[in-house]
Amino acid sequence: MKFSLSWLREHLETTATLEEITATLNTIGLEVEGVEDPGAALASFRTARIIEAVQHPNADRLRVCQVDAGEGFERVQVVCGAPNARAGLHVIFAPPGTHIPASGITIKAGKLRGEASGGMLCSLRELGLGEDHDGIAELPEGTAPGQSYPLFAKLDDPVIDIAITPNRGDALAVRGVARDLAAAGLGRLKPWLVETVEGQGDSTITWRITYPEACPWVLGRTIRGVKNGPSPAWLRRRLESIGLRPISALVDITNFFTHDLGRPLHVFDADKVRGGELTICRGAGETFTALDGSEHVMTPDDCVIADSSGVLSLAGIMGGAESGVSEETTTVFVECALFDPVAIALSGRRHNLHSDARQRFERGVDQALPPAALEAATRMIIDLCGGVADNVVSAGGEPAWQRQAHLEFARLETLGGLVEEPDHAVHLLEGLGFEVRECDARHVVVDVPSWRNDIATPMLLDQQPGLPEARGRAAAEGAVAINPEVDLIEEVLRLRGLDSVPAVSLPVHSAVPLPALTPRQARTASLRRTLAARGLLETVGFSFVAQEQAAQFGETPAGLHLLNPIAADLDQMRPTPLVNLLAAIKANAARGYPDIGLFEVGPGFDADGQKQVAAGIRSGHSARQPGQPARPVDLWQVKADALAALSVMGAAMEGLSLSADAPAYYHPGRSGVIRQGPKLVLGHFGQLHPALLAARGIDVPVCAFTLYPDAVPEPKRRRKGPPALSAFQPLRRDFAFVVSADVPAEKLLKAVKGAERNLIVAVSLFDVYEGDKVPAGHKSLGIEITLQPMDGTLTDAEIEAVCDRVVAAAHKSCNAVLRG
Amino acid sequence: MSDDLETLREQTVQALAAATDQRAWDAVRVGTLGKSGRLTALLKELGRMTPDERRARGAALNRLRDDLTRLIEARGQELEAAALNARLAAERVDVTLPGAPEAEGLLHPITRTIEEMAAIFGAMGFQVAEGPDIESDWHNFSALNTPAHHPARTDQDTFYLPPEAEGQPERVLRTQTSGVQIRTMLGQEPPIRIIAPGRTYRADHDATHSPMFHQCEGLVIEKGITLGHLKGCLSDFLRAFFQMPDLPVRFRASYFPFTEPSMEIDIGWSRKTGQIGAGDDWLEVLGAGMVHPRVLANCGLDAREWQGFAFGMGIERLTMLRHGIPDLRSFYESDVRWLRHYGTSPLSPALLHEGL
């Protein structure tokens, strides 16, 4: 909300400086968003008088003036080119060093065509204050020289813009801000007095309320014989200072009260109201054209004001174009109502209509103010537009807004951390308009003022369904008991300033804190570090992606389609971060970086819900090196990435199995699924399907992996036994087995490993051969076994026996035969 | 020494000097000390001499043999060293050639900041809690004293997802991680000290807003926790995070539906230079407050018994301030040039004892 300093001073008697005022506003919760001081840029301009002006000896169009610009500049010579520069003229003088807003130059003392010139005489245009006629500005006769020009011209009226939090409807008024500042000790709130206007007869327009839930009380008044024209200068300046465009006196008056008292009013042209009665009722499908030209269909939840011809106004939000006042209006009907904040908030949101009135009604307005506000508005209308007022008409009645709140003084410290004198706390509350009902050394009970709709309000709880009844009831009672008190504590604290609460470090429960992360969280941290240590760059991608891209990586259930996406390409919750990673590969390749590795650990969404997914991707080629040509990324790299990550997460690596049934976005022959046991899928890896890459316009090779960290069972935290360190050297033997080409190598390795569990400690594959040296449809697998004797060196016979078992096991499991 | 021996010595020395490779040297060695070598032949002649002759000649021959053996050996080593040098010279490479190429992987700055937050709050006894990104309306709003009509809801442009089943309310993408606080209060008895870092979503997209960003919220519920502790805890955090023991921290009254009293927290900085902790300006970095009695009640906690504070901060915002990152959008663009510039090494995790 914006207000000018002079407007504030209408309500606040204070000697505080602008800086003190803005600092206090920040402290008490009325955050200053900005201060505009139109006079600040003009601070060095001063009023002056030309004592003498003579023709410049060397220039026809210049005059040499002796200028009196007050203290320090009693007689300055200024060379001036303005045709109206003459002796006796009162002018605006810019001393050296002055920045001229319009031209951006800074005035320097110097010589013009040989004559000294110690400043400049200015036009209003040069001050950025408008287009005046030729020559320099002429100030009124008798203006004392040496005054600050902005002070003289009343430009020293800074405008303060504050952010109003949703609870403070009362601060959407200059008077409300003044009250807060006065309560914080920054001056005195001036009394606000209303002069009542006697009615001269019965109103021809009356009120009826059929939707009391939305409007408990409405007042109105007809004023006849008004002349609606431009507002007087003071009112126009008020409104202009806060960025409002003056329209006509009647409209400007409503805007004035909206901002001055936070009391929105509406004026109808009484001659356009049909049927003599205004009804406040539910909408019924009517189409309503608002003042801003927008059209809206009224729903039964909307509160509207209608006459016999139809809807005239969306109550509390915006009036209609048809029934508004104009220059021709001679009879005006003023509406002053209380509307239900919730109804207004929902209605305003439904129709996406924003207005100063809605902003105030949805936060709640002063519930006792309508009669006085209507009198004040009537008075101002008659003062500015003339006319005679009818009697006030009304419907409904003043709601029972009276509430009490209680404060235990000790709670200021035990909740607020503030040591405060009870008397002072009470004094602060009284400054805000709370009235003391009861007070002793221990506590105070106060009446809540009619404008504070945020204090001690009726309890609105929304407890978790299924809370045990006794527990829920006790908790609800606790909130009822504590809430109003906390409301008051907040008021005292904000007026005192939170900086007055001493900071206390949290008490230490355990000298050495417990781990902040759960084992699973810590495991995810290790996972990230492992992938990064393997050369992958971590990324963070949006959880929502374009639906057609998501569809390339999995199901896109309707339940995961955003109802209100911000952009068409951010409309579907992603099944896996691979969607983003592939897009990143494409974007980076387009930037000239095709050879990269990325990973992300983040959520993936499917019909079963949300799960954590670790996905990695490698694209392009290895770096070229002398003697080593670039190699395209291959699935062995991403397989190694995936297995390293699983290992660091504590997966039982021995028990993992691989199969070639990876999702369809992989190359069907170059991808695999990693499982633990027969069912539990821990992840998959492989080369991405060429058709997918082609569809995405990616022309570099891409391999990727996906892991499901939550699926990896948490390792058992058992203490390890001591390692079995043999005193005897291990020995190694190589075998070449011929097997059918479709036998997975892993199957053979497992069979061999199992041939003699006590001696064979490692089996590794060192060669795969397919070609004319083996029968067609077959391949040769070269494997190395490591035998580790524990009790003594193996004899040739023992070694022979193990080898026989290896060959037998290979044959049995894979139909493998030793290559001849 | 007799002349013939002197001659043999001279000739051998010359032959050794003339031998410039292993093979020539070996020929000299064999020709002198070998089975048919010249010295060996002289030694063989001793047998045919008289004992007296033999004594004198033998002693001279033995000396010569030792002498020649030493000379041959020395020359041999010399040649060996020369050969090695020659080989090494031939093996010389251009050491300015690149080392084995290795891609450097780095962690995203958001990850780093979350790690740092966990480390600092962890030291103050907090635990890290998590929750789902897709929340019920109740967990995200209603439980937090923010009913449907609340003006605060219009400030948070919420993304909605279809309801789980027909007739049920729409689900929301969480606009804050407060749902985690709610779940924590429902799921465990106080005392509670948690932080909840995570993804949050708001329908806002421009230079300074992203439709997805990260927040870290915190919750402390204990007996006797006051606003003074809130101030202490968050000042302690900010000073540790920005590594400035005397960072100016300012608390300003504000409003959130879920806390009362509520406040915004500023740190000192210079608008001109962007330097944290310097200058006369203030920069808002945190929102906080004492947990609202209604929020406690909604979660089944009796406000007469329990109280505490909650806070929330933007992870990207703090990261940008800490590292001087100018553009919010760059966090999610996965531009490798940016990731390499702002990423951190996985081998220096955020450890308080090593310094953050």
Tokens of B5: 């021996």
User: First vs last Cα of chain B: how many Å apart?
Assistant: 83
Last residue of a domain, one of B91, B126, B151: B91
The pLDDT value given to residue A174: 97
Q: B133, B258, B298: which to substitute to probe chain A, counting the most A Cβ within 10 Å?
A: B298
Query: In this structure, are residues A495 and A433 in contact, taking their beta carbons and an 8 Å threshold?
Result: no
* Same-domain check for residues B79 and B164: no
- Residues A248-258, mean pLDDT to the nearest whole number: 96
* Residue A291: closest CA among A247, A331, A345: A247
* Residue A157: closest CA among A1, A18, A48: A18
Q: A19, A33, A164, A165: which to substitute to probe chain B, counting the most B Cβ within 10 Å?
A: A165
* Same-domain check for residues B168 and B301: yes
Question: Residues of B numbered 70-89 whose beta carbons fall under 8 angstroms of chain A's beta carbons: which are they?
Answer: none
Query: In this structure, are residues B211 and B158 in contact, taking their beta carbons and an 8 Å threshold?
Result: no
Residues of A with Cβ-Cβ distance to B154 under 8 angstroms:
345, 349
A724-745: per-residue pLDDT in tens? Answer: 899 999 999 999 999 999 999 9
Residues near A242 by beta carbon (within 8 Å), at least 6 away in sequence: A2, A3, A4, A7, A159, A259
Domain assignment present for residue B100? The answer is: no
The answer, for A164 touching chain B at a CB cutoff of 8 Å, is: no
The answer, for A165 touching chain B at a CB cutoff of 8 Å, is: yes
* Residue A623: closest CA among B68, B59, B135, B97: B97
Query: In this structure, are residues B123 and B345 in contact, taking their beta carbons and an 8 Å threshold?
Result: no
Q: What count of residues does chain B have?
A: 356
The answer, for A605 touching chain B at a CB cutoff of 8 Å, is: yes
Domain assignment present for residue B20? The answer is: yes
Q: How far apart are CA A713 and CA A735, in angstroms?
A: 36
- Other Cβ atoms within 10 Å of B24 Cβ, number: 14
Q: How far apart are CA A666 and CA A686, in angstroms?
A: 6
The pLDDT value given to residue B204: 85
Residues of A with Cβ-Cβ distance to B199 under 8 angstroms:
543, 602-603
pLDDT string in tens for chain B (356-residue length): 678 888 889 999 999 999 999 899 999 999 998 898 888 888 888 888 888 888 888 888 889 899 999 999 999 999 999 999 999 999 999 999 888 888 899 999 999 999 999 999 999 999 999 999 999 989 999 999 988 777 667 656 899 999 988 888 889 999 999 999 999 999 999 999 999 999 999 988 888 899 999 999 999 999 999 999 999 999 999 999 999 999 999 999 999 999 999 999 999 999 888 899 988 899 999 999 999 999 999 999 999 999 999 999 999 999 999 999 999 999 999 999 999 999 999 999 999 999 88
Contact B251 A167 (CB under 8 A): no
* Same-domain check for residues B197 and B323: yes
Q: Reduced to 3 states, what is the DSSP secondary structure of residue A642?
A: helix
Contact B107 A588 (CB under 8 A): no
Q: Which long-range contacts (CB under 8 A, 24 or more apart) does A102-111 make?
A: A102/A126, A102/A127, A102/A128
- Residues A46-68, mean pLDDT to the nearest whole number: 91
* Same-domain check for residues B196 and B342: yes
Query: Please, how many CA atoms are within 13 Å of residue A596, restricted to the half-sphere of its CB?
Result: 26
DSSP state of A511: S
Query: In this structure, are residues A263 and A373 in contact, taking their beta carbons and an 8 Å threshold?
Result: yes
Q: To the nearest 10°, report the CA torsion of A353, A354, A357, A361.
A: 80
The answer, for B280 touching chain A at a CB cutoff of 8 Å, is: no
* Same-domain check for residues B138 and B54: no
- For residue B20, CA distances in Å to A232, A687, B31 come to 118, 60, 16
Contact A517 B118 (CB under 8 A): yes
Q: Reduced to 3 states, what is the DSSP secondary structure of residue A251?
A: helix
- Other Cβ atoms within 10 Å of A59 Cβ, number: 15
* Same-domain check for residues B70 and B123: no
Domain assignment present for residue B69? The answer is: yes
How would residue A173 be classed by pLDDT, with cut points 50, 70 and 90?
Answer: very high
- Other Cβ atoms within 10 Å of B59 Cβ, number: 10
How would residue A43 be classed by pLDDT, with cut points 50, 70 and 90?
Answer: confident
The answer, for B227 touching chain A at a CB cutoff of 8 Å, is: yes
Question: Residues of A numbered 344-373 whose beta carbons fall under 8 angstroms of chain B's beta carbons: which are they?
Answer: 345-346, 349, 362-363
Q: How far apart are CA A791 and CA A728, in angstroms?
A: 8
Q: Which CATH number fits domain A40-152: 3.30.460.80, 2.40.50.140, 1.10.540.10, 2.170.120.12?
A: 2.40.50.140
| Strand arrangement, sheet containing A760-769 | A760-769, A778-787, A731-740, A817-818
* Same-domain check for residues B258 and B191: yes
Contact B257 A460 (CB under 8 A): no
ipTM of this complex? 0.89
Q: How far apart are CA B298 and CA B300, in angstroms?
A: 6
Residues near A374 by beta carbon (within 8 Å), at least 6 away in sequence: A219, A220, A221, A265, A334, A336, A392
DSSP state of A402: -
Contact B260 A487 (CB under 8 A): yes
SS (H, E, C) A127-144: HCCCCCCCCCCCECCCCC
Give chain A's radius of gyration (CA, Å). 42
Q: Which CATH number does the domain housing residue B302 bear?
A: 3.30.930.10
Q: A25, A31, A498, A617: which to substitute to probe chain B, counting the most B Cβ within 10 Å?
A: A498
* Residue A666: closest CA among A649, A683, A641, A645: A683
Domain with CATH 2.40.50.140 in chain A: 40-152
Q: To the nearest 10°, report the CA torsion of B121, B125, B130, B131.
A: -110
Domain assignment present for residue B318? The answer is: yes
The region, left, alpha or beta by phi > 0 then psi within -120 to 50, assigned to residue A702 is beta
Residue of A nearest to B132 (CA): A610
Determine the distance in angstroms separating the CA of A362 from the nearest CA of chain B, rounded to an integer. 7
Arch. (CATH architecture) of A411-459+473-498: 2-Layer Sandwich (3.30)
Determine the distance in angstroms separating the CA of B228 from the nearest CA of chain A, rounded to an integer. 5
The answer, for A140 touching chain B at a CB cutoff of 8 Å, is: no
Residue with tokens 């939305």: A214
Question: Residues of B numbered 232-261 whose beta carbons fall under 8 angstroms of chain A's beta carbons: which are they?
Answer: 232-233, 235-236, 250-255, 257, 260-261
Contact A587 B292 (CB under 8 A): no
Contact A468 B336 (CB under 8 A): no
The pLDDT value given to residue B168: 85
The pLDDT value given to residue A133: 62
The answer, for A597 touching chain B at a CB cutoff of 8 Å, is: yes
Residue of B nearest to A470 (CA): B300
Tokens of A790: 């524990």
Residue with tokens 């960003």: B213
Domain with CATH 3.30.70.380 in chain A: 731-818
Residue A352: what are its φ and ψ, rounded to 5°? 50, 45
Contact A598 B336 (CB under 8 A): yes
The answer, for A461 touching chain B at a CB cutoff of 8 Å, is: yes
Q: Reduced to 3 states, what is the DSSP secondary structure of residue B320?
A: helix
The answer, for B48 touching chain A at a CB cutoff of 8 Å, is: no
The answer, for B294 touching chain A at a CB cutoff of 8 Å, is: yes
The pLDDT value given to residue B151: 65
How would residue A716 be classed by pLDDT, with cut points 50, 70 and 90?
Answer: confident
The burial of A147, by beta-carbon neighbours within 10 Å (0-12 exposed, 13-18 middle, 19 or more buried), is given as: middle
Residue of A nearest to B204 (CA): A566
Q: How far apart are CA A342 and CA A348, in angstroms?
A: 10
A511-567: per-residue pLDDT in tens? Answer: 999 999 999 999 999 999 999 999 999 999 999 999 999 999 988 999 999 999 999
E strand intervals along A72-136: 76-80, 90-94, 110-112, 115-117, 120-121
Q: What mean pLDDT, rounded, does chain A reach? A: 93
* Same-domain check for residues B67 and B129: no
Domain assignment present for residue B103? The answer is: no
Q: How far apart are CA A819 and CA A800, in angstroms?
A: 17
Contact B294 A459 (CB under 8 A): yes
Residues near B327 by beta carbon (within 8 Å), at least 6 away in sequence: B207
Tokens of A260: 């001055």
* Same-domain check for residues B337 and B253: yes
Residues near A720 by beta carbon (within 8 Å), at least 6 away in sequence: none
Contact B138 A537 (CB under 8 A): no
Query: In this structure, are residues A428 and A180 in contact, taking their beta carbons and an 8 Å threshold?
Result: no
Residue of A nearest to B136 (CA): A464
Query: In this structure, are residues A121 and A67 in contact, taking their beta carbons and an 8 Å threshold?
Result: yes
User: What CATH number belongs to A519-711?
Assistant: 3.30.930.10
| Helix, strand, coil percentages in chain B from 3-state DSSP, rounded to 5 | 45, 20, 35
Residue A120: what are its φ and ψ, rounded to 5°? -145, 140
The answer, for B293 touching chain A at a CB cutoff of 8 Å, is: yes
- Residues A290-309, mean pLDDT to the nearest whole number: 94
User: Which of A506, A602, A609 lies closest to B229 in CB terms?
Assistant: A506
Contact B349 A525 (CB under 8 A): yes
Query: In this structure, are residues B134 and A563 in contact, taking their beta carbons and an 8 Å threshold?
Result: no
Q: How far apart are CA B132 and CA B183, in angstroms?
A: 10
Residue B68: what are its φ and ψ, rounded to 5°? -65, -40
Tokens of A291: 């003042």
The answer, for A797 touching chain B at a CB cutoff of 8 Å, is: no
Query: In this structure, are residues A271 and A325 in contact, taking their beta carbons and an 8 Å threshold?
Result: no
User: What CATH number belongs to A206-396?
Assistant: 3.50.40.10
Q: How big is the CA angle at A192 (ends A189 and A197), to the nearest 5 degrees?
A: 175
Domain assignment present for residue B29? The answer is: yes
Question: Residues of B numbered 171-210 whose beta carbons fall under 8 angstroms of chain A's beta carbons: which are they?
Answer: 173, 186, 191, 193, 195, 199, 201, 203-205
The pLDDT value given to residue B185: 94
CATH top-level class of A731-818? alpha beta
Contact B103 A597 (CB under 8 A): yes
The region, left, alpha or beta by phi > 0 then psi within -120 to 50, assigned to residue A430 is alpha
User: First vs last Cα of chain A: how many Å apart?
Assistant: 93
Q: How big is the CA angle at A483 (ends A480 and A487), to the nearest 5 degrees?
A: 155
The answer, for B167 touching chain A at a CB cutoff of 8 Å, is: no
Domain assignment present for residue B104? The answer is: no
Residue of B nearest to A474 (CA): B302
Q: How far apart are CA A40 and CA A42, in angstroms?
A: 5
- For residue A513, CA distances in Å to A675, A694, B150, B226 come to 37, 53, 39, 21
The answer, for B126 touching chain A at a CB cutoff of 8 Å, is: yes
Residue of B nearest to A345 (CA): B149
DSSP state of A621: B
Q: How far apart are CA A725 and CA B179, in angstroms?
A: 53
Last residue of a domain, one of B35, B57, B91: B91
- Work out how many domains chain B is built from and give that number: 2
- Among A153-157, A447-451, A711-715, B251-255, the minimum mean pLDDT is found in A153-157
User: Structural domain of residue B224, as residue ranges?
Assistant: 109-354
User: Which of A349, A479, A499 lies closest to B293 in CB terms?
Assistant: A479
Residue of A nearest to B127 (CA): A516
C-alpha of A448 from chain center: 32
Q: B95, B113, B149: which to substitute to probe chain A, counting the most A Cβ within 10 Å?
A: B149
The answer, for B226 touching chain A at a CB cutoff of 8 Å, is: yes
User: What CATH number belongs to A2-38+157-189?
Assistant: 3.30.56.10
In this prediction, what percent of chain A has a pLDDT beyond 90? Answer: 80
